[in-house]
Amino acid sequence: MYRYDQYDQALVDARVDEFRDQVKRRLAHEITEDQFKPLRLMNGLYLQLHAYMLRVAIPYGTLSGTQMRILGGIARKYDRGYGHFTTRQNIQYNWIKLEQAPDLLAELAAVEMHAIQTSGNCIRNISSDQFAGSAADEVADPRPYAELLRQWSSFHPEFSFLPRKFKIAVTASDHDRAAVKLHDIGLQLHRNAAGELGFRVFVGGGMGRTPFIAPVIREFIPVSQYLSYCEAILRVYNRYGRRDNIYKARIKILVHEIGAEEFTRQVEAEWALLEPLALDAPTAEYERIKAQFAPPAYDAAAPDSIDRSDPDFAVWVDHNVAAHKVPGYAIATISLKPVGGIPGDASAEQMELIADLAAKYSFDEIRVTHSQNLVLADVRKDQLHALWSALAAADLATPNLDLVTDIIACPGLDYCALANARSIPVAQSIAVRFANLDRQHDIGELKIKISGCINACGHHHAGHIGILGVDRKGEESYQLSLGGSGAEDTSLAKILGPGFSEEGVVDAVEKVIEAYRALRLNPQERFLDAYRRVGAEPFKEAVYG
Amino acid sequence: MVDVQDSVKLAQNPHPRATPATAAVLRWRDDVAFDGPVVAFADFGGDSNAAAVRVDPADDARALVPHLARLRLIEVSFPKYRDGRGYSAARILREAGYTGELRAAGDVLVDQINFMRRVGFDSFAPAKPLNPDDVAAALARFPHVYQKAADAAAPVWALRHG
């Protein structure tokens, strides 16, 4: 994976010094909270319901075992023993003390990590496919391009005061594990007819209160020019994105209001002016970064079979292990969704264990997924059982990837100052209701996503079943939506009908699922496919009938 | 090279908007500051003889490109520091070859000044006075840059492969 050189390190260290100075001025009351707010937000520090929350960037969701061990140590030292992995492939700590934040950032900087641009109206952490580099279906490793984007977007002088936050995702396969069409910019690496590498450029996707699926604005931009092309997109957005209404300030609204064709014309016109300025990093820089993502030393003699004689292990393999491009290896997903747990939470001890297991079984590397799980991407098939045993002992081997209990949930009203309703208890109640593994496996792939407010951090628009918590006359109420997807078949979920109480929504989910089981053509027909085939009516009937 | 003009001198500046609210102008230029009238963008017709113009956030700075040769001062206003359109305006003007004074005026804060220098501003008229020592510290804080902009700083990729 990417390692900092002297330049990267000097910049991150300078940022820590700057923030230490700003916190000192704040604690000495030399600056007001109003003046301090934009400064702390540039460093990922939010003031939440009960305490400061710090969001740490995990660029494109890739981190080393060493970094994970430090994240665990930070959870113990500065938080209450937990960290929360997010849908942006980052980690958040919910109980941070302001006076300790500079020391925390210094500990991160010592292992080449930071919280730069994890909040604020700027280009946020770049996200990517959690299987990047190991996926059997990718055209090339997207991470060197994501790292180049990270560097280009860090401390960008023109784009640090955009109309609103800006999220870029990069992927390299037709099977979309990064939800690229639901980002401000989605970049899909592919080859043109001549066999050259370039990006398909999606712009203007997003969730929030006005969800949109991003249109393609350019089928192919060569990899040697994608940075300047992004620069052109950002400039058009910075100049013409709406600033009169925070809820209409994302780029998706601009693209929607002027139309994808006109937006494309403006970007192309801007790019024609920018392209000659040689803004793109040279090929040598790409090669330098790519060398750091060189494939690890795979053992060509690793046996290409898995001993499935342990039935519990076999179930985990069936659900949580994916195909690797190298024979003898597999990709293992560590579920952070134990029944009754908080989706995405990991304790300090779990993080330290995962760090050890990554060092032992997966070339010291870990990935964070946008569905709030972790991945060891390079595990020998003949070591999967040993890995599983160690994970199971720490409650990390729940075989529920993409099943009904693998729920995405935002922090909700338990932590978040923006939330209208709690998300975590709803996720917990649904998981408990469907705790039986045989039942989960019978239901099959079913992605439930829960947001505690209209900002949609829990991706409810992209849920096969989406749940949105709203405030209805002082009471928490939950709306049920069906038919969303964040994968390559991206679609937006549609509201089924009137909302429910917390307990009522769990019952409604169960009714929807039982209706699906009754009407599916066969057990292989997923819930999403069945819904697309029959429409909402049978489910409305089952829930409200 | 910071040349901090005092507010007394500024009071003689006929520019009607900047005078009352502006405490001091910080300049990174060796030439003599333009002292004439600054016209609003809307009044700056192609046939005007104005040598200075004020660009508000919603104005299209690119419309000035045909007239850059006769402009000595372009003042880009920042009514709120959060409105970042002026950063693009500045860079567009520099990319088009403008070499005259480019001034950021209004809600200009010390924590933004480094970015403003990078997109091409070479003078500043902050609504609230800035401490020159804080400005110097802010400009010296970051030893490298990751991307090209309108300044001369070489991005780290150029240093790595220089």
**Within-domain flag for A456:** yes
**Residue A446's domain is classified under what CATH number?**
3.30.413.10
User: What strands, in cross-sheet order, belong to the sheet with B52-55?
Assistant: B3-4, B26-27, B123-126, B101-106, B73-78, B52-55, B39-40
pLDDT tens digits, A278-287: 999 999 999 9
Residue ranges per structural domain of chain B = 3-160
Residues A283 and A328 in one domain: no
Chain B contact for A5 (CB, 8 A cutoff): yes
Q: Is the pLDDT of residue A82 over 90?
A: yes
Q: Is the pLDDT of residue A31 over 90?
A: no
**What mean pLDDT, rounded, does chain A reach?**
96
Chain B contact for A288 (CB, 8 A cutoff): yes
**Within-domain flag for A304:** no
Contact list, B161 vs chain A (CB under 8 Å): 282, 284-285, 288
Q: Which helix (H) or strand (E) holds B11?
A: helix B7-11
- Residue from the list B111, B118, B141 with its beta carbon closest to the beta carbon of A157: B118
Task: Bin A330: left if φ > 0, else alpha if -120 < ψ < 50, else beta.
Answer: beta
What pLDDT score does A49 carry?
81
Residues A413 and A387 in one domain: no
Phi, psi of A144 (to 5 degrees): -60, -35
**Angle, alpha carbons A298-A304-A310 (nearest 5°):** 120
Q: What sign results for the dihedral spanned by CA atoms B52, B54, B59, B60?
A: positive
What pLDDT score does B47 carry?
63
What pLDDT score does B22 carry?
45
Chain A nearest-CA residue for B138: A18
pLDDT tens digits, A494-537: 999 999 999 999 999 999 999 999 999 999 999 999 999 999 99
Domain boundary (A361, A393, A425) is at A393
Residues A263 and A332 in one domain: no
How many other CB atoms are found less than 10 A from the CB of residue B146? Answer: 22
Could you tell me if the ipTM is greater than 0.90? yes
Mind telling me how many Å the CA of A78 is from chain B's nearest CA? 27
Measure Cα distances from A473 to A165, A271, A423, A454, A476 in Å.
30, 49, 18, 16, 8
Residues A324 and A286 in one domain: no
pLDDT tens digits, B91-130: 999 999 999 999 999 999 998 999 999 999 999 999 999 9
**Within-domain flag for A23:** yes
**Within-domain flag for A533:** yes
Residues A446 and A525 in one domain: yes
Domain boundary (A63, A87, A110) is at A110
The closest alpha carbon to B111, from B124, B100, B97, belongs to B124
**Within-domain flag for A212:** yes
Contact list, A279 vs chain B (CB under 8 Å): 147-148
**Within-domain flag for A539:** yes
Mind telling me how many Å the CA of A163 is from chain B's nearest CA? 7
What pLDDT score does B23 carry?
54
- Amino acid present at A247: Y
**DSSP state, A177?**
S
* Residue A468 near residue A454 (C-beta atoms within 8 A): yes
Segment A191-204 shows an average pLDDT of: 97
What pLDDT score does A38 carry?
84
Q: Is the pLDDT of residue A110 over 90?
A: yes
pLDDT band at A127 (very low <50, low <70, confident <90, very high): very high
Residues A359 and A273 in one domain: no
Mind telling me how many Å the CA of B8 is from chain A's nearest CA? 28
Chain B contact for A273 (CB, 8 A cutoff): yes
Burial class (CB in 10 A: 0-12, 13-18, 19+), A197: middle
Contact list, B142 vs chain A (CB under 8 Å): 11, 14-15, 155
What pLDDT score does A164 carry?
96
The closest alpha carbon to B138, from A160, A18, A115, belongs to A18
Query: Helices A226-240 and B85-95: crossing angle, nearest 10°?
Result: 130
pLDDT tens digits, A167-183: 999 999 999 999 999 99
**Which residues of chain B have a Cβ shorter than 8 Å from any chain A Cβ?**
57, 81-85, 87-89, 91, 95, 111-112, 114-116, 118-119, 141-149, 155-157, 159-161
Domain that holds residue A522: 408-544
Total domains in the fold of chain A: 4
**Within-domain flag for A368:** yes
**Angle, alpha carbons A326-A330-A334 (nearest 5°):** 150
Residues A163 and A223 in one domain: yes
Token couple for A194 = 């001549």
pLDDT tens digits, A338-391: 999 999 999 999 999 999 999 999 999 999 999 999 999 999 999 999 999 999
Residues A503 and A476 in one domain: yes
**Unique residue bearing structure tokens 């899909």:** A188
Domain boundary (A110, A133, A153) is at A110
Token couple for A211 = 């969800």
Contact list, A14 vs chain B (CB under 8 Å): 141-143
Segment A154-169 shows an average pLDDT of: 97
Chain B contact for A402 (CB, 8 A cutoff): no
Q: What sign results for the dihedral spanned by CA atoms A483, A485, A490, A493?
A: positive
Task: Determine the Cα–Cα distance for residues A164 and A242; give it in Å rounded to an integer.
Answer: 9
Q: Is the pLDDT of residue A202 over 60?
A: yes
pLDDT tens digits, A410-435: 999 988 888 999 999 999 999 999 99
The alpha helices in A100-250, defined as continuous H runs, are 101-110, 143-153, 226-240
Residue ranges of chain B whose pLDDT lies below 70: 1-23, 46-47
**Residue A346's domain is classified under what CATH number?**
3.30.70
What pLDDT score does B46 carry?
61
Contact list, B147 vs chain A (CB under 8 Å): 151-152, 156-157, 279
Q: Is the pLDDT of residue A256 over 90?
A: yes
- Residue from the list A162, A279, A285 with its beta carbon closest to the beta carbon of B160: A285
Burial class (CB in 10 A: 0-12, 13-18, 19+), A201: buried
Chain B nearest-CA residue for A276: B95
Residues A20 and A64 in one domain: yes
Which residues in B77-104 are b (16+ Cβ under 10 Å) and which e?
bbeebebbbbbbbbbbbbbeebebbbbb
